Amino acid sequence: MSRVKVAVLFGGAGEEHPVSVKSAREVANNLDTDKYEPLWIGITTSGDWRWCESPHGDWENANPRPVTLSPDRGVHGLLVAGQDEVVRLDVVLPVLHGRFGEDGAVQGLLELSGIPYVGCGIQASAVCMDKTLAHTVAWSAGIATPTSWVVTADEEVDPHRFRYPVFVKPARSGSSFGVSKVTRAEELPIALCTARQYDSKVLVEEAVSGDEVGCAVLGDLSGLVTGEVDRVDLSHGFFRIHQEDSPETGSENATFVVPADIPDESRQLVQDTAKTLYRALGCAGLARVDLFLTGDGRVVLNEVNTMPGMTSYSRYPRMMAAAGVPLSDLLDRLLSTALDGAER
């Protein structure tokens, strides 16, 4: 029986390139190669696509072959530069985070190509990437969202209009890149400048008092399931994922409690809310829903990640593993679901 040919896309031209490479390495360590034949397609920071032996080591300089993912449905795969070679694919696993990978861009190319792929489609990817749009959908679904304001590229902002503390965020960027906590009006201009390095559209949110919790959601052939809820235990400051020098050794100010040490009714509320948001936003395959759990037992949306990290220290695979789904099984379920959907 021939193996399923899966192209694993990783790297990317966005700020989350290094995180994506780490995710791909963890995928390489856990993918069932008896069932799947992986083709490792690394995208450099300048946007060049390279077919390499693996995501490990110095893959960019280890004689990779330039390739293009063809939008021609008749090709249904990769074109190798400088050759007449065509590599037909069965499925694509886009392990890409943030801009140019998690925002609908790659999903659009994959839709044109006709190749089935893991994860959310164009619309859900784009909406979830833009926090302002995700909040609008959440609010319409009856989910609480932080009080917030949108600041455009050239807009002059009166710093005294806000009630502090607030968080200033790029509206369409991943992880914690460009995020600042502002406690005084005098700090706002610098925070806006920092956020604008990543996006011309900036979100100013009033801080929500409560615990940060997350829920992994998996949509597969068995239906919609959730992982164990986690809680971010902060020692100081605010949670800044992927900003540490060596995140593999732990965060400088946060640890993760899995399963979360919260009341059973709160756990159920978090899981139910995550499923509601997953459906309302039109997600598919997987998503990590980040929420705030307030002292009076309510939940408030933080953000939704449509291709969460798969690194050794990432929250999504940790929550799924705690629920009895190790990464090897998770990858198989995601790929099988993508293939099954293409056959219908």
Residue-wise pLDDT tens digits, 250-261: 556 678 999 999
Report the SS3 class of residue 331. helix
Check whether domain 148-206 has CATH 3.30.1490.20, yes or no: yes
Yes or no: say if 262 and 211 are a contact pair by the CB < 8 Å rule. Answer: yes
Give me the active site residues, please. Answer: 19, 22, 97, 242, 248, 288, 309, 313
Pick from 206, 262, 207: which is nearest to 233 by CA?
A: 262
Q: Where are the domains of the chain?
A: 4-117, 126-144+210-343, 148-206
Tokens of 28: 């390489």
Alpha helices in 156-205 (DSSP H): 188-196
Amino acid 240: pLDDT: 53
Amino acid 254: pLDDT: 74
Looking up tokens 């590229």, which residue turns up?
A: 153
pLDDT mean for each 10 residues of the chain (344 residues): 94 93 98 98 96 94 92 96 92 95 96 97 97 96 96 90 95 86 95 94 95 96 94 69 56 82 97 98 98 96 96 95 97 96 59
- Written as one string, the DSSP assignment of 101-136 is TSSSHHHHHHHHHT--BSS--HHHHHHHHSHHHHHH
Residues in a beta bridge with 4: 36
Distance, CA of 152 to CA of 149 (rounded, Å):
10
Amino acid 144: pLDDT: 97
Class of domain 126-144+210-343: alpha beta
Residues in a beta bridge with 211: 293
Amino acid 68: pLDDT: 96
Distance, CA of 137 to CA of 131 (rounded, Å):
10
Could you name the CATH architecture of 4-117?
3-Layer(aba) Sandwich (3.40)
Amino acid 116: pLDDT: 98
Distance, CA of 27 to CA of 93 (rounded, Å):
10
Each residue of 275-298: pLDDT tens digit? 999 999 999 999 999 999 999 999
Looking up tokens 């694919």, which residue turns up?
A: 89
Do 4-117 and 148-206 agree at the fold level?
no
Q: E strands within the chain?
A: 4-11, 36-43, 49-52, 65-69, 77-80, 86-88, 91-94, 148-151, 166-170, 180-182, 202-206, 211-220, 223-226, 230-234, 254-257, 286-293, 299-305
